[in-house]
Amino acid sequence: MGATKTDHFTERQNQIAKIAKALGHPARIAIIEYLLKVNTCICGDIVNELPLAQPTVSQHLKELKNAGIIKGNIEGTAICYCIDEKVIEILNDYFSKIILTVTNQKCC
């Protein structure tokens, strides 16, 4: 196997899992932190920031884009990347609700 049975779960569950999965790699977290640090969309330059080869970084960027976490605008030779707040907001709302429920929980 190795293939996730996505059709057995709700769309919402698959959505959250997809976003979380895209964030489930330190290189992709590092990319996001870099985009936050420069505090603007950055054109080029991401490859030099990471300890990985250019095709690997490109692949990670593709996955972040695919999950809707970042967006890229072509700007001449380079591509401008920035974080798409919409998706981060979805995650944030989701976990906020979890926190609320959990803290009201009578538990072990």
Of residues 2, 3, 26, 77, which one binds a copy of itself by CB under 8 A? 26
| Binding flags for a copy of itself, 36-65, as an x/- string (CB under 8 A) | x--xxx---------xx-------------
From residue 99, how far is each of 31, 63, 96, 102 by CA, in Å? 27, 28, 5, 5
Strand 42-43's sheet: what is its strand order? 42-43, 78-83, 70-75
| Residue 107 binds DNA (CB under 7 A) | no
From residue 12, how far is each of 17, 63, 81, 92 by CA, in Å? 8, 19, 26, 14
Of residues 3, 27, 49, 77, which one binds a copy of itself by CB under 8 A? 27
| Residue 23 binds DNA (CB under 7 A) | no
Considering CB distances under 5 to 8 angstroms, the limit depending on partner class, which of a copy of itself, DNA, none binds residue 66?
Answer: none
| Residue 16 binds a copy of itself (CB under 8 A) | yes
Q: Are the C-beta atoms of residues 81 and 68 closer than 8 Å to each other?
A: no
Phi/psi at 76 (nearest 5 deg)? 70, -130
* Interacting residues toward DNA by CB under 7 A: 1-5, 21, 24-25, 27, 43-47, 52-56, 58-63, 72, 74, 76-79
